[in-house]
Structure 1
Amino acid sequence: MSSLHDLYHRYGQSPWLDNLRREWLHDGELARWVERGVRGLTSNPSIFQKAMTSGNAYDGQFASLLADGLSVADAYWELVLTDIGGALDVLAPLHDDSDGVDGYVSVEVDPALARDTQGTLAAARALHQRIDRPNLYVKIPGTAEGLPAIQAMTAEGRSINVTLLFSLERYAEVIEAYLQGLEACPGDLSSVSGVASFFISRTDTEVDRRLEAIGTPDALALRGQAAVAQGQVAYQLFTEKFSGSRWEALAARGARVQRPLWASTSTKNPAYPDTLYVDRLIGPHTVNTLPDATLEAFTDHGALARTVDADPDAARAVLARVGEVGVDLEEVARQLEDEGVSAFVKSFDDLLASLTATADRLVEAGR
């Protein structure tokens, strides 16, 4: 078995692929990743921007949709849903074989709705209704405005991937929204699933920038440690919240834990090991979604060991020292959330602009 298989079968962590391209559905590349041990897939506006603006794999369907009278924006969603449907097909057998633990594909609501609770609710419902597959996750940003939507969708029995998490405080609120949603959901809960996506590398990028600005030896010595430490402390919060009498009552109705998902796990600083955010966050009931390059790197030289809860006291001590030298992690989280929302909105807007230009080109070419 490959190291990706070992991650799950020996350590309980599910490696997912953080990428999707139409060519991978047609040439079998996604199926080969699943054979190698990938157990799910995530997408976002930035991923679709890269996929749709390179090559011409989407031109035929796009031209047909435009000829049918669809707007560029509506055509975009049809392109997305075609790709998501293909990925759902590839991963459906794994979803069945794992009894609903894995085999999920995530698609994100319009990122412009991140501060709009009612808009997010409507968009999430629409995606679930249009796709209506048991292995679909709809991604909702873990903003303050997203919390009521997460709770409501869970209460309706819909499976959600909470994205763009950067702080322990917000993570605790996301867990509470999930638990309250389960408690409000009638009947058997075994078909409801969820993950909460902590963005890892972006935290180190911003914390390191602030540590370098402080410039003291104590501050500089903490570079490259905050993101992993925060993930490890988040795992402790996960184990605490999904235990005890409250959780046991839900588990008796078939409820599944909302697994922590480590996202943004490619290292941004070339001075750090390229598998840093995999090696240090391995443990049961977790997911790590990785770009294909990071999956290749981990397969080649990743370190297999249970690390996410190896020393929780040390992880808490790192976060305490980061605060002591002058870095406000809550302020960092607010900044990264704003930047994350803005980046996805920009990717979405840039993609629509590119598709509009493609539409013009296709018209000129007589298509």
Structure 2
Amino acid sequence: MTAEAMRLLKELAAEGVSPWWEACPWEPPTVVDAVSYGFRGIRMPLGAPNGMVRAACDALRASGGFVAFAAAAFDGVDDPSAWVAAARVLRSGVDRPNLLVGVPANRAGIDAVAGCLAEGIGVESTGVFSVPQYRAVLDAQRTGLERARARGVEVEPLGVATSCDLGALDAAVNARLDGLPDAASNALRDTAGLATARLLYRTRETALACGRWQSLRESGVRPPMLLWAETRPEQVRSLVSWNTAHALTLETAEAAARGGGLEGDTLMGRHEQSARVLRLLAEWNVDVEAIGVELLRARFG
């Protein structure tokens, strides 16, 4: 990795943004290399052996970083208990406290979040594309953390994250816009992802101000993290705010570093203009929330 890219990772961390390595089987760096570059978290690829996941957890544990790895509920994918069982097996196999078990943010996966956290299993909810969906995830996260605390589980080390694949959302929205005859709709290309991210951020900050979340924070619970995935290089600079993360391939990190410096906090207080973007898209019969549902179903059924 170039010095410019490593400097970008440091700048992100200074702004409260945790740079994560989106590990790809075809990329040559090792986990140790990724940590030395300045990555604070790692998303492991599907099919990675438990030993590799365990090594990644060990490499990041001293710095407080997390490793996300997707669970696989082969049977009963519509059953929350199947996802909890799959998470339990994965956590037992890796046996590291800084593992985040990835579960889909569909109905079964959201219901499983509370069960996982109640057992002391950190969770990454994957595939969130809308505010209503994220509210449900936040409710499940809060409930699970409250159950864990009531059961005497040590809540301070528990990691909780929610990821939104902004690149996939933008690509799906752009495809709808491309099918429209009026060229004026082109101005809305590549706007859905950023608008959604800002609305998700506002949703989280509003939730954290409520009494139940404040009580959890007083107990030492970490605030839930928002993780942006599949971002384009230019989006890295426009998605900056406290307790967020970027999952970046090395290629994306290098390209983002060539694009200039960060723009400061770009998420806080931008919810009203973001809501207007989604309303404008709706006027073109592009329902971003419905597209998010389609993306989730395509991935997880």
Q: Any idea what SS the aligned residue of 2:127 has?
A: strand
2:172 pairs with 1:213: no
Tell me the amino acid that sits aligned with residue 292 of structure 1.
Answer: L
CA distance in 1, matches of 2:256, 2:225: 21
CA distance in 1, matches of 2:221, 2:12: 24
Q: How does 1:1-367 map to 2 (within 5 A)?
A: 2-9=7-14, 11-21=15-25, 29-45=30-46, 48=47, 80-95=49-64, 103-110=65-72, 112=74, 114-185=77-148, 186=150, 187=152, 188-265=154-231, 267=232, 275-305=233-263, 306-309=265-268, 311-341=270-300
Q: Any idea what SS the aligned residue of 2:179 has?
A: helix
Cα gap change, 1:302 to 1:128, in 2 (>3 Å): farther
CA distance in 2, matches of 1:302, 1:201: 20
Q: 85-94 vs 202-211, which deviates more?
A: 85-94
Contact 2:54 2:95 in 1 (8 A): no
Tell me the amino acid that sits aligned with residue 112 of structure 2.
Answer: A
Q: Any idea what SS the aligned residue of 1:261 has?
A: strand
Tell me the amino acid that sits aligned with residue 66 of structure 2.
Answer: Y
Cα gap change, 1:6 to 1:136, in 2 (>3 Å): same
1:280-305 Cα offsets, whole Å, 9 max, x none, are 11111101111121012223334312
Contact 2:229 2:248 in 1 (8 A): yes
Tell me the amino acid that sits aligned with residue 250 of structure 2.
Answer: D
Q: CA RMSD in A?
A: 2.0
Tell me the amino acid that sits aligned with residue 335 of structure 1.
Answer: E
1:132-182 Cα offsets, whole Å, 9 max, x none, are 211111111111111111111112221101112222211110011001111
Contact 1:200 1:277 in 2 (8 A): no
CA distance in 2, matches of 1:329, 1:115: 24
Cα gap change, 1:22 to 1:153, in 2 (>3 Å): same
Tell me how many residue pairs correspond in the alignment. Answer: 291
CA distance in 2, matches of 1:259, 1:303: 23
1:303-328 Cα offsets, whole Å, 9 max, x none, are 31221226322111111111122112
TM-score, normalised with respect to structure 2: 0.90
1:207-226 Cα offsets, whole Å, 9 max, x none, are 11111212324422211101
Task: Give the structure with the larger helix fraction.
Answer: 1
CA distance in 2, matches of 1:201, 1:23: 20
Contact 1:207 1:223 in 2 (8 A): yes
Q: Any idea what SS the aligned residue of 2:158 has?
A: coil
Q: Any idea what SS the aligned residue of 2:289 has?
A: helix
Cα gap change, 1:162 to 1:206, in 2 (>3 Å): same
Contact 1:150 1:160 in 2 (8 A): yes
CA distance in 1, matches of 2:23, 2:181: 37
CA distance in 2, matches of 1:309, 1:316: 14
Contact 2:238 2:262 in 1 (8 A): no
1:224-262 Cα offsets, whole Å, 9 max, x none, are 101111011111111111113221111111111111111
CA distance in 1, matches of 2:257, 2:27: 22
Cα gap change, 1:148 to 1:112, in 2 (>3 Å): same
Contact 2:100 2:123 in 1 (8 A): yes
Contact 1:183 1:250 in 2 (8 A): yes
TM-score, normalised with respect to structure 1: 0.74
CA distance in 1, matches of 2:25, 2:45: 12
CA distance in 2, matches of 1:109, 1:214: 39
Cα gap change, 1:203 to 1:111, in 2 (>3 Å): farther
Q: 106-115 vs 253-262, which deviates more?
A: 106-115
Q: 159-168 vs 84-93, which deviates more?
A: 84-93
Gaps of 5+ in 1: 49-78, 96-102, 268-274, 343-367
What is the CA distance between 1:111 and its match in structure 2? Answer: 6.2
CA distance in 2, matches of 1:302, 1:115: 45
Tell me the amino acid that sits aligned with residue 276 of structure 1.
Answer: E
